[in-house]
Chains A and B, each alone.
Chain A
Amino acid sequence: MTTGLARRIALTAGGFGLLAAIAILTAPLVGSTHISLRRAFDRSIPFSDNVDAQIFFIARLPRTLSGALVGSLLASAGVVFQGLLRNPLATPFTLGVSAGAALGAMLAITFSWSFAWAGISAAAAASFIGSLAAVGIVYALARGRHRGLSTNVLLLAGVTMNAFFSALILFVQYFADFSQTYRILRWLMGDLDVSSYQPILTALPLMFISFAAFAWLARPLNLLSLGDESAETRGLNVAAAQRIAFISASLATGAAVSVGGPVGFIGIVVPHLVRLIVGPDHRVVLPASALFGAAFLVGCDVVARTVIAPIELPVGVITALIGGPFFLWLLVRRA
């Protein structure tokens, strides 16, 4: 358990990676129409004649991949927020960061901002700015507190931020086309109703940047859990590490929300289960959470698509039904 960290990282990444791969490959097979994996990958049938391949690659795979992307981004952003704020109950959703990102994305969608910069869409950029603003407020509250942000302040700040951003989101909604309202409502619940690879491709650069930052942050986050001053006397540039954590986690949340909306509770359920299995070392927890987050959200989406088929629920309904009680249980257990 304590020796061979490299082996531990490889083992957990391998294990959770396998889980994610299985989830991504099997999820597109599940649905109202039965298809076979073998036929979908059968190259001898022309694609235009291969209905199984069409359903697999056009209808279901983009949605599954979006789920994997959103799940891994939100789960690992949750790990970083928890380390940064030194509180295991911090998550993008409960802190109101997802709501901030959602407001940004809604503004971009409602007013049809359509610039793109370096392959990053207006919606993704706006949701990044929204999440950055929300994290900025939470971080300002947390600063200068020696023992990290207390759970009380954290929860109250989160409730307030969510209420505040929800009000602004409702306000913006009045400017939206009436026909868009139903779509927006679903999206705000957290929905992976994606039918092209475009949103995934635009979120990918953001994902790479934030994951590169997370890789660097893994060891500093261990030190930060000792407290700012202890981290500094162990050689860490605390201010720089916090700034990088703050920006990269906002970036990850913004990218995730621009694809799937503010899907709730992934950032707390996944890191907690992962820590129970692999311990608290961020160098193991971060990659494991990213992979397990992907598998978890893809799994939740399968349930969302099939539980009252042929109607498809927004996946956020499922994650909230699992995550809500889980969060309360954690809260009671810690008290």
Chain B
Amino acid sequence: MPDLLRAERIVFGYHGAPVLREVSMDVSAGGFVGILGPNGSGKTTLLRALAGTVRPARGRVLLDGRDLSSYPRRTLARRMAVVAQETHLAFDYTALEVVMMGRYPHLSTFEIERPGDFTIAREAMTATGTLALQDRRFDTLSGGEKQRVIVAAAFAQIAGAAGDGILLLDEPTVALDLAYQLELGELLRERQRVGSLTIAVSTHDLNFAASLCRTLVLLKNGQVLAVGPTDDVLTSPNIRLLYDVDADVTRHDATGRIVVVPVRRARAGSQP
């Protein structure tokens, strides 16, 4: 598979404090990549760099072999959608209005949404099970419902990108309880199955990543600790290095998925 999105030795810092130090990673077309690491490891910043909302001080991000910053914003938005960690609206938009905002990059300056845009929005809401919420005010929805509406907006945004669509999710499980976490995972997997969609997700949730991602990037202190297929990378030694936690990594019989059971905090002596 060719690399769709690629970070090459990117360096970034906020106010001089380095956050990413020479990070390189690939997202192949149709891939499902997890960026895993403890809080403050730089995974959200890495995701932002992939989305083009922060520009690396050094190194570059390539989309289809072209520098990301050379794409016009609207062109990029029609192909790549980002699901933010939390969304707070300043005004009382309905769920459908929020999903329709995903169609804005497809409209010219003074153009108004066409019936086709509503069809796409409603299809995205059907796919995420939010169609029944379309006339509800976004602010009155639960955390899980909000997340699904935002995911629907992202689907509506990249509808039409055909096999080229890219979805980036920043810590999607933080605001979700267990049932919604499973539901979101199921939704993403299903979406990848029906149309080829490329997904990258940042998370600190080991089991969420293990159950969904085919490849992982382990990030610690802004540096890549390990990168590769989930089965190869998600090992006890790596988890100890990443989180300073001793963990058992086993395979769950019924689902065939890797399961990580944190056992205890690793002893100080075992830290790298």
Chain A residues in the interface with B (C-beta under 8 A): 1-3, 5-6, 82-83, 86-88, 147-148, 215-216, 219, 222-227, 229-230, 232-237, 275, 279-281, 283
| Interface pair B105/A83, CB less than 8 Å apart | no
| Interface pair B135/A1, CB less than 8 Å apart | yes
B137 to chain A, nearest CB (A): 9
| Interface pair B87/A281, CB less than 8 Å apart | no
- The answer to the question of B101 belonging to the interface, with a C-beta cut-off of 8 Å to chain A, is yes
Interface residues of B in 77-105 (CB under 8 A from A): 77-78, 80-82, 84, 87-94, 96-98, 101-102, 104-105
Q: Interface 1/0s, chain B 181-195, versus A by CB < 8 A?
A: 000000000000000
> 24 A-B residue contacts at CB 8 Å?
A1-B135, A5-B113, A86-B90, A87-B90, A88-B90, A88-B91, A147-B88, A219-B104, A219-B107, A222-B97, A222-B104, A223-B104, A225-B91, A226-B89, A226-B98, A230-B87, A232-B53, A233-B51, A233-B82, A234-B81, A234-B157, A235-B74, A280-B92, A283-B112
Set A82, A230, A280, A283: member contacting B84, Cβ < 8 A: A230
The verdict on A280 contacting B113 (CB below 8 Å), with A223-B104, A226-B101, A233-B82 known, is: no
Set A86, A229, A235, A283: member contacting B73, Cβ < 8 A: A235
Across the two chains, which residue of chain A brings its CB closest to B97? A281
Across the two chains, which residue of chain B brings its CB closest to A276? B92
B196 to chain A, nearest CB (A): 21
Contacts of B76 in A (CB 8 A): 235
| Interface pair A2/B97, CB less than 8 Å apart | yes
Determine the distance from Cα of A333 to Cα of B256 in the docked complex, in whole angstroms: 52
Contacts of A88 in B (CB 8 A): 90-91
Across the two chains, which residue of chain A brings its CB closest to B98? A226
Interface size on B, residues (CB 8 A): 38
- The answer to the question of B270 belonging to the interface, with a C-beta cut-off of 8 Å to chain A, is no
Set B53, B98, B113, B115: member contacting A233, Cβ < 8 A: B53
- The answer to the question of B109 belonging to the interface, with a C-beta cut-off of 8 Å to chain A, is yes
Determine the distance from Cα of A86 to Cα of B80 in the docked complex, in whole angstroms: 25
| Interface pair A216/B109, CB less than 8 Å apart | yes
Across the two chains, which residue of chain A brings its CB closest to B48? A229
Contacts of B87 in A (CB 8 A): 226-227, 230
A80 to chain B, nearest CB (A): 13
| Interface pair B84/A227, CB less than 8 Å apart | yes
| Interface pair A235/B94, CB less than 8 Å apart | no
Contacts of A216 in B (CB 8 A): 109-110
| Interface pair A233/B77, CB less than 8 Å apart | yes
Across the two chains, which residue of chain A brings its CB closest to B103? A234
| Interface pair A280/B93, CB less than 8 Å apart | yes
Determine the distance from Cα of A150 to Cα of B92 in the docked complex, in whole angstroms: 17
| Interface pair A234/B84, CB less than 8 Å apart | no
Contacts of A215 in B (CB 8 A): 110
- The answer to the question of B238 belonging to the interface, with a C-beta cut-off of 8 Å to chain A, is no
- The answer to the question of B134 belonging to the interface, with a C-beta cut-off of 8 Å to chain A, is yes
4 additional A-B pairs beyond A2-B118, A216-B109, A225-B89, beta carbons within 8 Å, are A2-B135, A225-B91, A225-B93, A227-B87
Determine the distance from Cα of A240 to Cα of B117 in the docked complex, in whole angstroms: 26
Determine the distance from Cα of A216 to Cα of B51 in the docked complex, in whole angstroms: 26
Q: Interface 1/0s, chain B 56-78, versus A by CB < 8 A?
A: 00000000000000000110111
